[in-house]
Amino acid sequence: MSDQVWKERFDELCHVLKQTIPGFEIRYKADSFPWKDLPDKIARIDLFWDEDAATTVGSTIWFPRREYVEKSPRAAFYTLAHEAVHAFDFAKAKVGFGIGYLSPQVFALVFIVAAIIVGACGSLFWILPAVLALVAVAPLPSPWRADAEARAYAMGFAIDHWTGREEEDRRGYVIGAMTSFLYWKMVWGRHRAARRIDRYVSRIAGDRILSVSPAYRLVKEIVTTE
């Protein structure tokens, strides 16, 4: 399959996502606030700038650079299809999805506010919420984030299946990512990550995956239409 075909598929998926998700847009971190203005130490970490590490916030999918899409349209299509699952999740559950995705670490904010309020009242008990805040930011397992990513990572396997190609060790890559600091160790143990991803991958044959997210039906239509 030529780069040109993948480029057309990328454009078509953008087009249908725009029609389906209110406010949907693709933006590029290299050109945009706040990414390009982040302090170097944060801005340069791979988490944000890996070629294929796009980030979805609400109905916006942020790719690192425009050139990536031009140079590697197939990889960019896979990335867009993965992020489309997140964008549909966001559209459906809005703030709830964001809180779930960032849990339990996001609760540190609540504990910090509590510590400030208790401290301002002159009580020494501010230490208690402060300790809880520290516990919350630790790389604790996040079943919500893990499930969201397993649902999205299954997309890569689905595209492989529908287009008759097979990525060498996609499963190993996904399990590695799910258990790494890339996702703040959201899953502890490779066997747990394998169970999570296999739960969705096993739905691909027979098309039971189509009910997991509207993104699957849109992507299937695009990659199976000549």
**Residues contributing to the site for Zn ion (CB under 5 A):** 149, 152
Q: Which is nearer to Zn ion, 76 or 115 (CB)?
A: 76
CB of 81 to Zn ion, least distance (A): 11
Q: Nearest approach, Cβ of 122 to Zn ion (angstroms)?
A: 45
Nearest distance from C-beta of residue 171 to Zn ion, angstroms: 16
- Cα 204 to chain centroid distance, Å, stands at 20
At closest approach, how far in Å is the CB of 132 from Zn ion? 28
* Contact call for residues 117 and 106 (beta carbons, < 8 A): no
How far apart are the C-alpha atoms of 42 and 129, rounded to whole Å? 27
Closer CB to Zn ion, 28 or 126, in the complex? 28
**Number of H-type helices and E-type strands within the chain:** 12, 3
Residues 6+ apart with CB under 8 A from 41: none
| Residue 115 or 175 with smaller CB distance to Zn ion | 175
Half-sphere exposure (Cβ direction) of 48: Cα atoms closer than 13 Å: 17
* Closest residue by beta carbon to Zn ion: 152
Task: Please identify, using beta-carbon distances, which residue of 136 and 148 lies nearer to Zn ion.
Answer: 148
Which lies closer to Zn ion via its Cβ, residue 186 or residue 204? Answer: 186
What's the rounded Cα separation, in Å, for the pair 170 and 215?
20
DSSP conformational letter for 55: E
With respect to Zn ion, which residue has the nearer C-beta, 52 or 221?
Answer: 52
Taking the least distance from each CB to Zn ion, the nearer of 61 and 223 is 61
Residue 85: partners with Cβ closer than 8 Å, 6 or more residues away: 148, 151, 152, 155, 212, 213, 215, 216
Give me the least distance between CB of 35 and Zn ion, in Å please: 17
Quote the least distance from Cβ 151 to Zn ion, whole Å.
9
Locus of tokens 């109905």: 59
Q: Are 125 and 118 in contact (CB under 8 A)?
A: yes
DSSP letter for 38, please. S
Query: Shortest gap between Cβ of 60 and Zn ion (angstroms)?
Result: 14
